[in-house]
Amino acid sequence: MNDETPQNLAMLVDRGEPRSQSRRRAFDRGFLVTCLAITAIAVLALGVLLGSILIEGLPGLRWSFFTEYASRDASKAGIRAPLWGSIWVASICAIVALPIGIATAVWLEEFAPKNRITAFIRLNISNLAGVPSIVYGILGLTLFVRMFGLFGPIQAPELEIGGRLYAIYYDTMQEPIRVPAEERGVAPVLKTGDVGFVQEIEEGADGELIFTDRWTPVTLTIVPEDEDAPEGYGIIEAWQAEEPADFETERPWYYIQFPLGQSVLAGGLTLMLVVLPIVIISSQEALRAVPGSLRTGSLAMGATKWQTTRKVTLPAAVPMIMTGSILAMSRAIGEAAPILVLGVALFITDTPSSLMDSFTVLPMQIYNWTSRWQEDFRALAATGIIVLLMVLLAFNAVAVLIRQKLQRPLS
Amino acid sequence: MTAAPHDAAGELFELANRGRSRSRHVRDGGEAVVKVVLAGCAGFSVLITALIIGILAYEAVRFFMDVSVVEFLTGTEWSPLLGEEKRFGVWPLVAGTLLVTLVAAIFALPTGLVTAVFLSEYAPSWLRAILKPVLEILAGIPTVVYGFFALLIINPSLQWIAKVVTGEELFGAYSAGAAGIAVGIMILPIVTSLSEDALRSVPRGLRDGAYALGSTRFDTSVRVVIPGALGGIMASYLLAITRAIGETMIVALAAGGLAQLTVLPWRQVQTMTAYMVQIFLGDAPATGVEFKSSFAVAALLFLMTLLLTLAGYRILARFREEYE
């Protein structure tokens, strides 16, 4: 009886497992080979991708590629504007998204009561992480670029803060003259002896004219309409003095208008929407990784919840929060879809110098170059991709460094 | 003289007490402010969702005042920009999205799962040390780069393969297949990392039990570990598919611009996101019905991804309960 039990067991196992031991071993071996082959696909894909981009793009990687603006001539085109645009937009995005995201994570992990509202907020954040980025673009377009149309059209904003408004006239030299104005659409009454400003012009290295940001004051002379009005700086014919040719706002970097329009601020805020759920989720994970004993220790010493968070929990979680935040920012730098929806101009020949300046970003420029048919532009796109990947690589290197330098075992 | 130390102790006690009670008071006041500020930040994320739903609903309703909902949801012709009569049947766009997603899923879901099984059950540590960074890099590459790759490397390769195999010029300059494979490479790291997490969370005891019964690693993986992690694997699939449906730059570059109902991966298709790109890049006046139609398409896209995400987290929540 006892002798037969193993046999019974073997039969039982056999019934469930008709294949012989050696066949199962063969299966195992075969599966390992399949695994290796399939896993190699990922490595192969990455290799081919990087290889083809390097082959296409490396020849175009010259210093001038970084210093030149967009051009219809592929050999002269560069990525100066999108590079600076990306830097501005990513900085704004980081300044806004990181505090809000980390604060949300702190509240959820350290303060939130366990109730339905908290559960709903958690679910809501998971959902936000799954929303396609192009949908955030639509939100950014309505919320930031147009501001629901509450402040009038983008071109003639109803609310401007921090700018200086000028009316533009042309003198008999056909040079634009700026005259301070009180209100958009209301012409200042010009009289002889008033002061206007002419733009300083410099001669570039190749003899081309460069319009500087400096303006020199000039005393205006208003002369009656006359066929042979004297030519000279600041001499304006009466009919030209009646209505300014245009209005212009001088923009210090803190100048803000409502609606925000297709400005770097609107772009940065839109990207903030995209990365906010990522920042929240990674910060939550970082806080969760802090051992509970540290918190209870601090609370037992009489510290309040906020003191515990500020002095104990947050410092312990900072390396992981920083790593997560850097990865979130590299996501922001690579996003093209939400920026595209905002309707930013593709042909930018200036770097942003104020929050309200127009901009483009690296992925948008790469998209634009790739979607053209000419070979030259596609090579440019590959070079642009190399620059973009180098930026992301630098970000990731910093993240890895932080992880290694700052992370100490906590328990 | 003897009383002095006693007194000092009492004084100290009083001092400590006074200091303590005052600071407690201040601390509690500050605490309340901090709490409100933090809760406000958390509320901001709810506000974002509310705004997305509000804006999409408002704009979609305005669109449906011009075009009937029934035509939008049942029509099989989408020609808002071309032709005499504009037609707004959304099915060609949905079909295009689903075709690209299907190709991506066929490529990425099995590959991702096998890679995850390999990483969690088979791979020696030195191989893991190579594979993990490779997958992390793949996950960090911007999608516009995948679009470039699809248009200039994958599609020409498919063109060439199809020519060799069938002798016909099946593939044009754009194809749903090329875009789909690129999307597949993009979602591969998502499937792999989430599935691997699920596989790793299967208790070690189950594996040991299987090995003790004489199972090979293959038997253990396929009959014990994978069934045990099924919830997490399904959730990773759903989340990856959500990403594929919402992917924009790859399809805008490589899938083409012709909205047509087809299941053939060598044809060009227009996806929902690619249509939105076309509109927002300025192919339509900002006041026309075409422009409004992009909001209706966006609303539908949002609804689809919302349902998939919810389903994914549902499964994940149920699966978590099993082992905890």
A276 chain-B contacts, CB cut-off 8 A: 45, 48
Q: Which residues of chain A have pLDDT under 50?
A: 1-6, 8-9, 12
B49 Cβ contact list (under 8 Å, min separation 6): A124, A127, A128
Residues B55, B96 within the same domain: no
Residue A5 is predicted with a pLDDT of 47
Residues B154, B263 within the same domain: yes
Under a CB-based contact definition with an 8 Å cutoff, are residues B253 and B144 in contact? Answer: yes
Residue B29 is predicted with a pLDDT of 73
CB contact under 8 Å between A42 and B188, yes or no, is yes
Residue B323 is predicted with a pLDDT of 58
CB contact under 8 Å between A104 and B118, yes or no, is no
Under a CB-based contact definition with an 8 Å cutoff, are residues A298 and A308 in contact? Answer: yes
DSSP letters along B113-143, please?
Answer: HHHHHIIIII--HHHHHHHHHHHHHHHHS-H
Q: How is residue B268 written in tokens?
A: 């060009």
**DSSP-based three-state secondary structure for A161:** strand
A372 at interface of B, judged by CB pairs closer than 8 A: no
DSSP 8-state code for residue A188: -
Summarize pLDDT for B58-86 with one digit per residue, the tens: 999 999 998 889 989 988 888 887 767 78
Best probe of the A interface among B33, B37, B41, by most A CBs < 10 A, is B41
Rounded to an integer, what distance in angstroms lies between the CA atom of residue B143 and that of residue B184?
11
What residues make up the domain containing B32?
A: 3-65
State the Rg of chain B over Cα: 28
- Please report, as a single letter, which amino acid is at residue B319: F
Rounded to an integer, what distance in angstroms lies between the CA atom of residue B280 and that of residue B302?
17
Give the end of a domain, one of B49, B65, B81.
B65
With tokens 């927002």, the residue in question is: B280
Classify domain A65-151+261-406 by CATH number. Answer: 1.10.3720.10
| Distance (Å) of CA B136 to CA A35, A407, B128, B182, B322 | 19, 20, 12, 16, 29
Q: How far is A172 from chain B (nearest CA, A)?
A: 39
B147 chain-A contacts, CB cut-off 8 A: 367, 370
Asked whether residue B166 carries a pLDDT value surpassing 50, the answer given is: yes
Decide which of B10 and A68 is more confident. A68
CATH at residue B256:
1.10.3720.10
Summarize pLDDT for A80-124 with one digit per residue, the tens: 999 999 999 999 999 999 999 999 999 999 999 989 999 999 999
User: Rounded to 5 degrees, what are φ and ψ at B321?
Assistant: -60, -30
Rounded to an integer, what distance in angstroms lies between the CA atom of residue B43 and that of residue A298?
28
Alpha helices per DSSP H over A289-374: 292-300, 305-308, 314-334, 337-342, 362-370
Rounded to an integer, what distance in angstroms lies between the CA atom of residue A333 and that of residue A389?
10
Residue B11 is predicted with a pLDDT of 54
Confidence bin at B322 (pLDDT 50/70/90): low
Q: How far is B320 from chain A (nearest CA, A)?
A: 15
Rounded to an integer, what distance in angstroms lies between the CA atom of residue A338 and that of residue A132?
9
Residues B283, B258 within the same domain: yes
Mean pLDDT of chain B: 86
Confidence bin at B7 (pLDDT 50/70/90): low
Decide which of A207 and B165 is more confident. B165
Residues 133-192 of A with CB under 8 A from B: 133-139, 141-143
Quote the Cα angle for A347-A348-A354, to 5°. 150
Confidence bin at B119 (pLDDT 50/70/90): very high
CB contact under 8 Å between B246 and A124, yes or no, is no
Rounded to an integer, what distance in angstroms lies between the CA atom of residue B218 and that of residue B117?
10
Asked whether residue B249 carries a pLDDT value surpassing 60, the answer given is: yes
Residues B229, B116 within the same domain: yes
Residue A93 is predicted with a pLDDT of 96
Q: How is residue A127 written in tokens?
A: 């959902």
B134 chain-A contacts, CB cut-off 8 A: 42-43, 46
Summarize pLDDT for B185-220 with one digit per residue, the tens: 999 999 999 999 999 989 999 999 999 998 888 889
Best probe of the B interface among A133, A370, A378, A386, by most B CBs < 10 A, is A370
Handedness of CA B257, B261, B263, B266 (dihedral sign): negative
Rounded to an integer, what distance in angstroms lies between the CA atom of residue B115 and that of residue B193?
9
Residues B50, B80 within the same domain: no
Produce one character per residue of A214-230: b if its CB has 16 or more CB atoms within 10 Å, e if not. eeeebebbbbeeeeebe
CB contact under 8 Å between A334 and B148, yes or no, is no
Closest CA to A342 of A110, A154, A107: A154
User: Exposed/middle/buried for A22, CB within 10 Å: 0-12, 13-18, 19+?
Assistant: exposed
Nearest CA in chain B to A52: B153
B239 chain-A contacts, CB cut-off 8 A: 130
Of A52, A143, A343, nearest to B153 by CB-CB distance is A52
Rounded to an integer, what distance in angstroms lies between the CA atom of residue B55 and that of residue B260?
28
B120 Cβ contact list (under 8 Å, min separation 6): B196, B199, B200, B225
Residues B50, B119 within the same domain: no
DSSP letters along B256-288, please?
Answer: -S-------TTS----HHHHHHHIIIIIS-TTS
**DSSP-based three-state secondary structure for B158:** helix
Residues B155, B219 within the same domain: yes
Give the end of a domain, one of B48, B65, B82.
B65
CB contact under 8 Å between A132 and B130, yes or no, is no
A35 chain-B contacts, CB cut-off 8 A: 114-115, 117-118, 122
Under a CB-based contact definition with an 8 Å cutoff, are residues A267 and A344 in contact? Answer: yes
- How many folded domains does chain B comprise? 2
User: Rounded to 5 degrees, what are φ and ψ at A221?
Assistant: -125, 120
Of B115, B134, B273, nearest to A134 by CB-CB distance is B273
Asked whether residue B5 carries a pLDDT value surpassing 50, the answer given is: no
Produce one character per residue of B158-172: b if its CB has 16 or more CB atoms within 10 Å, e if not. bbeebeeeeeeebbe
Closest CA to B96 of B285, B263, B322, B217: B263
A367 chain-B contacts, CB cut-off 8 A: 144, 147, 249, 252-253
Pairing of strands A159-161, A235-237: unpaired
CB contact under 8 Å between B302 and A49, yes or no, is no
What are the respective helix, strand and coil percentages of chain A, to the nearest 5? 60, 15, 30
Rounded to an integer, what distance in angstroms lies between the CA atom of residue A215 and that of residue A195?
12
User: Exposed/middle/buried for B311, CB within 10 Å: 0-12, 13-18, 19+?
Assistant: middle
Residue B93 is predicted with a pLDDT of 94
Is the bond into A99 cis (omega within 30 degrees of 0)? no
Residue A67 is predicted with a pLDDT of 86
Closest CA to A127 of B49, B263, B304: B49
Q: How is residue B287 written in tokens?
A: 């006041």
Residues B46, B162 within the same domain: no
Q: How is residue B147 written in tokens?
A: 């679009």
Rounded to an integer, what distance in angstroms lies between the CA atom of residue B149 and that of residue B171?
16
Residue B301 is predicted with a pLDDT of 96
What are the respective helix, strand and coil percentages of chain B, to the nearest 5? 80, 0, 20
User: Rounded to 5 degrees, what are φ and ψ at A79?
Assistant: -120, 25
Residues B112, B42 within the same domain: no
SS3 letters for B49-65?
Answer: HHHHHHHHHHHHHHHHC
Residue A366 is predicted with a pLDDT of 94
B44 Cβ contact list (under 8 Å, min separation 6): A100, A104
Residue A253 is predicted with a pLDDT of 83
Q: So where are chain A's domains?
A: 4-50, 65-151+261-406, 164-250
Residue B240 is predicted with a pLDDT of 94
Of B34, B45, B295, nearest to A121 by CB-CB distance is B45
With tokens 């896209």, the residue in question is: B301
Residue B315 is predicted with a pLDDT of 85
Under a CB-based contact definition with an 8 Å cutoff, are residues B42 and A279 in contact? Answer: no
State the Rg of chain A over Cα: 31
Residues B11, B101 within the same domain: no
